[in-house]
A and B are shown apart, each in its own frame.
Chain A
Amino acid sequence: FMRTPGNPKWEKTQLTYRIVNYTPNLTRTDIEALIEEAFKVWSDVSPLTFNRTLDKEADIQISFARKDHGDNSPFDGPDGILAHAFQPGPGIGGDVHFDAEETWTKTPENYNLFPVAAHEFGHSLGLAHSSDPGALMYPNYAFSDPSTYTLHQDDINGIQAIYGPSSNPVQPTGPTTPTACDPRLTFDAITTLRGETLFFKDKYVWRKHPRLRMIEFNLISLYWPSLPNGIQAAYEDFDRDLIFVFKGTQYWALSGYDTQQGYPKHISNYGFPSSVQAIDAAVSYRGKTYFFVNYQFWRYDDQSQSMEPGYPQSIEEFFPGINSRVDAVFQENSFFLFFSGPRYHAFDFHARRITRVGKSNRWLNC
């Protein structure tokens, strides 16, 4: 995290805010609720309290404005700059301006007001931008669902560096951002996608392009805002140019950046019994899709769209040497790459044996 240069802060912890005007995209009730949720992100982890007031002299004045709105920082129309805020202080200090020419939503559609408001309030309280891509104070927009959002540890450290800990007897903690070359790194799910390989972890995804050395690291919500965090399994259906991602008993179908209509669906559609409540890993190869659940696996026939009889079978019997639970698996040149914890095993599907073992994050150029 970074504090705003000069370390400005409010000398009091009970702050007031006023919503000066509204956007026509949302109802007043929705806006007031989203703004309240956004302030709660910060009050939950610090001694700060925020009370809405209608009088003119609120500490934090919130408004929607377009283009040049008299503060020497004109907005730029749809997209680009979404909002800005001023550091703690009198007058314009602490105020937050949203670009009125954006489409403001309360859904995963661009741009959800909640994450932008919570971010700008961080500036109103004295925080600058963080270079941690998982932090709320990261400069770029990313959708976050207010109902499941938990403030990142980096942001908690930042606000507590300014105002001290919360009065909560149990100090709140937040998630941290995985680092590619952490030797303990494990993956939640892996799938190929049109020649690239996607490595899922918590709310993040590494995107590896076969030819470029570059590996993109982003929030999953940047590509698929309506997907939940914590994907557990994923595979690519090459024939239909779709990838399927699984969490719990639900699954989604994605075509490129688009989430297919009519999802999520229930995994019982594949023919799983109700005893199966989650999939550990999945991979599709030559018209068959392999689902790994605990120490067993199921095989699904893509042609007949049905689970094959005689399953589940023991993983180790069919894939000799794969004797741990599978976190993730993908297929490359007739090899199944099995990931369990911080290690992977390359299994030659035709020779029916493991040919290589290594550290999982080797696939992230570590």
Chain B
Amino acid sequence: FPVSSASPEEKNRNIVQNYLEKFYQLPRYTYKSERKSKTNVIVETLKRMQRFFGLNETGKPNEETLEMMRKPRCGVPDSGG
């Protein structure tokens, strides 16, 4: 099979990015230049998600956070419109 080339870190990063964009209005960055400030935004947005679910607000995609992101759920965002 075409083995997915993405490393586990890459996969987890995609899970986090996808989840935060969908449910926590993480802006979609497209340009390289924007990426610097993006890291801070991701950390703050990730902390908001961890706060909502009562997880430790590490700002890092630890196992308990990734496990929460993998759970089947409603498609309506957890904050915002």
Q: A6-B81, A139-B23 are in contact. Are A120 and B74 (CB under 8 A)?
A: yes
- Contact at B75–A131, with CB atoms within 8 Å? no
- Contact at B80–A5, with CB atoms within 8 Å? yes
Taking the closest CB of chain B, its distance from the CB of A364, in whole angstroms, is 13
Q: A131-B52, A139-B23 are in contact. Are A73 and B64 (CB under 8 A)?
A: no
- Contact at B74–A119, with CB atoms within 8 Å? yes
Q: A5-B81, A131-B53, A131-B54 are in contact. Are A141 and B64 (CB under 8 A)?
A: no
- Contact at A129–B76, with CB atoms within 8 Å? yes
Q: How far does the alpha carbon of A217 sit from the alpha carbon of B54 in the complex, in Å?
A: 10
Q: A131-B52, A139-B23 are in contact. Are A83 and B80 (CB under 8 A)?
A: no
- Contact at B81–A81, with CB atoms within 8 Å? no
Q: How far does the alpha carbon of A82 sit from the alpha carbon of B75 in the complex, in Å?
A: 7
Residues of B within 8 A of A80 (CB): 72-73
Contact string, A70-94, partner B, CB cutoff 8 A, digits 1/0? Answer: 0001010001111111000000000
Secondary structure class of chain B's binding surface, majority of residues: loop
Q: How far does the alpha carbon of A116 sit from the alpha carbon of B74 in the complex, in Å?
A: 8
- Contact at B52–A82, with CB atoms within 8 Å? no
Q: How far does the alpha carbon of A84 sit from the alpha carbon of B22 in the complex, in Å?
A: 12
Task: Work out how many contacts link A and B, with CB atoms closer than 8 A.
Answer: 61
- Contact at A129–B78, with CB atoms within 8 Å? yes
Q: How far does the alpha carbon of A123 sit from the alpha carbon of B79 in the complex, in Å?
A: 13
- Contact at A79–B54, with CB atoms within 8 Å? no
Q: How far does the alpha carbon of A83 sit from the alpha carbon of B72 in the complex, in Å?
A: 10
Residues of B within 8 A of A82 (CB): 72-75
Residue of B nearest to A217 (CB): B54
Q: Is B36 an interface residue (CB 8 A)?
A: no
Q: How far does the alpha carbon of A73 sit from the alpha carbon of B74 in the complex, in Å?
A: 12
Taking the closest CB of chain B, its distance from the CB of A304, in whole angstroms, is 42
Residue of A nearest to B67 (CB): A216
Q: Is B32 an interface residue (CB 8 A)?
A: no
- Contact at A81–B71, with CB atoms within 8 Å? no
Q: Which residues of B20-37 are within 8 A (CB) of A? A: 22-23
Residues of A within 8 A of B76 (CB): 84-85, 123, 128-129, 139
Looking at the complex, which one of A4, A5, A83, A111 makes contact with B75 (CB distance below 8 Å)? A83
Q: How far does the alpha carbon of A140 sit from the alpha carbon of B23 in the complex, in Å?
A: 12
Residues of A within 8 A of B81 (CB): 4-6
Looking at the complex, which one of B56, B64, B73, B78 makes contact with A81 (CB distance below 8 Å)? B73
Name A residues whose Cβ lies closer than 8 Å to a Cβ of B: 4-6, 73, 75, 79-85, 110-111, 116, 119-120, 123, 128-129, 131, 133, 139-141, 214, 216-217
4 new A-B contacts at CB < 8 Å, known A80-B73, A84-B74, A84-B75: A123-B74, A128-B78, A128-B79, A139-B73
